[in-house]
Amino acid sequence: MGYQKQALNRDRILGPTAPRKRFLSNTSSESQSSNRKDVVSELHPLTNQSDNIRLLDYELQVKRRFDEIVPLLKRISALQHHNDFIPQAQQLAKSVLGFELPQYILEKAWVRPLDMRALFAWCVFQAHQYSSNQFFNSDPLHGSEKTQPANDFQTFLSQCGFHLLDVTPCSDGRLAHSIAYVLRIPFSTVRRRSHAGALFDVENTVNRWIKTEHSRYRHGNPNSPNDDTRYLKVVVYHFSSLSPSHQGCAAHGSDDSKAAEAGYQRLLDFRESIEKSFCCGASVDLLLIGLDTDTDAIRVHVPDSNSHIDLKKWVSAMEIYEGTRNLTYKDSIEFIEQKIDEKSPGKTQKGIVAFITKIIVNNISQIDYVRQAHNGAYPDAGHSERFIGVGIGFKEVHLRNLTYFSHLDTVEEGSPDLDVGIKIFKGLNVSRDLPIPVVIRFDYSGKVPGAKARAIADCKRVNNAISIRYKELVNDGLLHTCLTVRDRDKKGSAEIVGSSLDPAIKEEH
């Protein structure tokens, strides 16, 4: 994607002083494909340019660390027969990536070819750990708990009539940034679980709803049960405007109508499950959002007061972007609300209208973000994830095409999601003779005795199941795992508790 080159031209992309008019990036030859028009325009009046600058800085910084791994290892490979190979390799790694390489791998370079697959996986795992530390220590997305943005959004959510926002994007890495970038929502105010095709597990979601309602009655958290608020469940499916038949959702055969229909049906199943079990379906609201993975523009299927949705109608953020370019803020809001009313199959609750209006306004900034930084559409139209994330957690991952998610408790139940991820990485990495890096994560509550030990045991259990299911890849050194746990009750980053690259484990193989 040319992130290193792009970073050097960051001021050319967005400008150090954030003027309202700015030429867009010409930093990557890939972004100048013949089927894409050059986009040179004035920013939309609703765009938050300071946020765009901050978010781009973070994206470039994190992805650059991953994208520098292969060029660095190529340089190190050329040095492996030098007398001072190990000092040179460590100095290079430290200066470029910020960390050293495993000594025991380098020390074997004089008797056997340097294990570049192991070094590649090690570097990916360390880059992820570095990014995790940065995320939790400095809050670069300004979305952690009790910050002003989080407090403001939680207040807004309550005013809309919702006590909790639960979002399921597709596990496709092109949607990993859907919360912090596409919708511009503080990550700590959202419950996010990604699934292939956005097909969330209904039973697990019902259980999370039960825990939420129980917490409200016991602790008034997030809202008192006396408040007339509801649980908002959102599904985000995806499609491609530039290559609709090839770069849409693989789980639905790149058919966006099927993706929307399946996502809506899963929402209805969730609501029906609560109605039949607890007779209180009115406490749940549903929302379906489509995301164009080329431009990051969203389309929102407006529900009526009974959460009925017409799948053939939606409010297009891109159309609103074009229709409000010359309007004032007040007139733009009225324009958006009018479009919401036109696309609604019936009367829509004021809270839903306010929520949809806000995320569309937020998405306008993201549309300009892509227009400025990527000439209107991402150059990586398909997959270019850096690693697979498996388990429960990954609160720190909010960047497009950084991670393919496979949220699971057991490999057996999560095999459909994980198999899709492995298939994707066979194309991305194995085809280049590089291994598939898998980070296993289980968050735990430090307030619960023995919780950390159980999280570590879960990591080992899943790691063992992965080694069995993908035995051939593991034996060939084409799949490596890193086991991590994190105390969700603290702001600290994830802790590495094991890896297939540990010396003792490597010797066994």
- Same domain, yes or no, for 350 and 399? no
Task: Indicate if 337 and 419 belong to the same structural domain.
Answer: no
Judge whether 407 and 391 are in contact, CB under 8 Å.
yes
Domain boundary among the residues 374, 406, 423 is at 374
Identify residue 207 by its one-letter amino acid code.
Answer: N
Give the count of beta carbons closer than 10 Å to the beta carbon of residue 203: 11
User: Residue 7: what are its φ and ψ, rounded to 5°?
Assistant: -65, -35
> What is the Rg, in whole angstroms, of the alpha carbon atoms belonging to the chain?
23
- Overall number of domains in the chain: 2
Report pLDDT for 32: 34
Considering the domain architecture, whether residues 170 and 113 belong to the same structural domain is answered as no
Taking alpha carbons only, the member of 303, 319, 310 closest to residue 271 is 303
Tell me the one-letter amino acid at 87. P
Inside any domain, residue 360: yes
Identify the bridge partners of residue 298 per DSSP, sorted by sequence position.
291
**Burial class, 15, CB count within 10 angstroms (exposed 0-12 / middle 13-18 / buried 19+):** middle
How crowded is residue 217: how many other Cβ atoms within 10 Å of its Cβ? 11
Q: What tokens does 167 get?
A: 């979002």
Residue 338 and residue 366 share a domain: yes
Asked if residue 502 belongs to a domain, the reply is yes
Pairing type for strands 284-292 and 230-239 reads: parallel
Same-domain check for residues 276 and 368: yes
Cβ neighbour number for residue 214 with a 10 Å cutoff: 11
Q: Considering the candidates 67, 115, 172, 292, report the single residue annotated as catalytic.
A: 172
Residues 123 and 178 in one domain: no
Question: What amino acid occupies position 159?
Answer: Q
> What is the DSSP code string of 84-121?
THHHHHHHHHHHHHSSPPPHHHHTTTTTS---HHHHHH
Peptide bond into 503 cis (omega under 30): no
Torsion of CA 436, 484, 145, 219, to 10 degrees: 120
Last residue of a domain, one of 374, 401, 421: 374
Q: At what angle do helices 202-219 and 256-278 cross, to 10 degrees?
A: 50
Nearest to 375 by CA among 13, 76, 85, 3: 13
Q: What are the percentages of helix, strand and coil residues in the chain, rounded to 5? A: 50, 15, 35
Contact 26, 312 (CB under 8 A): no
Domain contains 26: no
The answer to whether 409 is a known catalytic residue is no
Looking at 374, 391, 417, which one is the last position of a domain?
A: 374
Segment holding 260, helix H or strand E: helix 256-278
Residue 355 shares a structural domain with residue 449: no
The answer to the question of residue 420 being in a domain is yes
Q: Are residues 125 and 249 in the same domain?
A: no
Q: Is residue 313 part of a domain?
A: yes
Calculate the alpha carbon distances from 328 to 47, 69, 101, 334, 410 in Å: 12, 46, 55, 10, 52
List the chain residues with pLDDT less than 70: 1-41, 219-220, 224-226, 280-282, 504-509
Same-domain status, 406 and 342:
no
Q: Which two tokens stand for residue 399?
A: 């960047």
Chain centroid to Cα 216, Å, comes to 28
Q: What is the CATH number of the domain that holds 199?
A: 3.40.1050
Q: What are the distances in angstroms from CA 205 to CA 63, 155, 192, 224, 229?
A: 32, 24, 11, 21, 18
| Residue closest to 430 by CA, chosen among 85, 117, 14, 37 | 117
How many Å apart are CA 384 and CA 67, to the nearest integer? 11
- 3 state SS of 151: helix
Rounded CA gap, 157 and 419, in Å?
Answer: 36
Judged by DSSP in three states, 408 sits in coil
pLDDT digits (tens, 9 = 90+) for 1-52: 444 444 434 554 454 433 334 433 333 333 333 333 444 458 999 999 999 9
47 inside domain: no
267 with 357, same domain?
yes
479 is a domain residue: yes
Q: Do 334 and 405 belong to one domain? A: no
pTM of the full structure:
0.88
Assess if residue 176 is contained within a domain. Answer: yes
- Candidates 140, 134, 269; CA nearest to 199 is 269
Q: Is 363 in the same domain as 426?
A: no
Backbone angles phi and psi of 454, in degrees to 5: -70, -35
What is the CATH number for 388? 3.30.1330.140
pLDDT, residue 417, reads 86
Half-sphere exposure at residue 125, Cβ-oriented, CA atoms within 13 angstroms: 30
**Domain range for 305:** 148-374
